[in-house]
Amino acid sequence: MTYTLSQAMLYLAKTLGGVEEGVATGGSTSYLIDTNRREQAEYWAGGTLFCLSGSNAGSVDIVRQYDEAGKIYVDTKTSAFTAGNRYALAPPKFPKHKLRMAINNALISVRVLSVDDTLTTEADKEVYTLPAGVKNILRVEIASNISEPYYYRMNYGWYEIDGNLCFRADVMPRTDGYPIKITYLSPHSEVINDDDKISDGVNIDWLRWSSAVWAYRDLISEEGKDNQADIELMNEAIKQEMIERERMQGSWNNFITKTCVLG
C-alpha cells in the first residue's frame, strides 16, 4: 500500500496519543462543526485536523481556534465541510509541522529502490558516466530492442567506480542505441505536501516508531530533560523502532537475495 504524508502523520499522531475521531454535524469553508464535542474552548487550538472523508478528504489543517460549540476553525478552504464528514483531531502537543518534521527526519536514513533508464549503449564502450544522483547500483539491464517493448536482459559483467558504470570487455555492449536500465538505491525525497507519496519500500510501522522517536526527542529538547514521562515514552518508541528495523532489514535482505544480482 502506498501511504501519503497525511496518512503517515495521522498514523504517527495516533502513536503519540490523544487523537480523537468524530463526524461533522455541519461546517463552512473556514470551520468544521461537531456539536457532539464537549471539550472546553481552545482545547484543540494549535492542534491538527485530519479530514478523513468528504471533499476535503486527505487534507491536514492547523486548528486556528476551537470553541465550546464544537467549532474547529482552520484556514479558509476551497470546499466547505459538511455534515457527515469524518475527521480526526490531534492535540497541540505535537502540531502539524512537528509531525511532518519527525517523519522527514526518519526518512533521511531511508534508501529506496530507484530506476534510471536515460543511458543508451554505445558500441564497444566500456565506461559510462552515471547520471547525477545515480549511485549504489544493484542491477543493470540492457534492452533487447531499441524501441518498446524493450525486453530487458540482465547484465552480469559490470561494476561501479568513481561515478561510472563500467562493463567487462567480454560482456560490454556491442551496438548503439539500446536503453540501459539501472536499479539503484537513492535517498528518500522529502515529503512536504499532504498528498506527497511515501515510497512503497518504506515499512510504515518502522516509520511511525522512528518518527515517534524524533518527535519525542524534539519535545524533550524544548521542555527539558526532567520530563520523565516523555523520556519513558521515547525509550519505548526506540525499542519498537529497533524491532521494526530488524523486521524491515530481514525483508530487505530477502528481497536483495531474490531479485537483485550484484555485478
Note down pLDDT in tens along the chain; length 263 residues.
789 999 999 999 999 999 999 999 999 999 999 999 999 999 999 999 999 999 999 999 999 999 989 999 999 999 999 999 999 999 999 999 999 999 999 999 888 889 999 999 999 999 999 999 999 999 999 999 999 999 999 999 999 999 999 999 999 999 999 999 999 999 999 999 999 999 988 899 999 999 999 999 999 988 876 678 899 999 999 999 999 988 876 655 554 444 444 44
Please report which helix (H) or strand (E) contains residue 185, including its range.
Answer: strand 179-187
| Residue pair 197/4 in contact by the 8 Å Cβ criterion | yes
CA distance 217 to 223: 10
Is residue 63 within 8 Å of 74, Cβ to Cβ?
A: yes
Q: CA 10, CA 193: separation in Å to the nearest integer?
A: 14
CA distance 76 to 73: 9
**Cβ-contact 88, 52 below 8 angstroms:** yes
Judged by DSSP in three states, 102 sits in helix
pTM of the model: 0.81
Residue 251: its pLDDT value, please? 55
Reading the block at residue 67, the C-alpha cell is 470553541
Contact 169, 93 (CB under 8 A): no
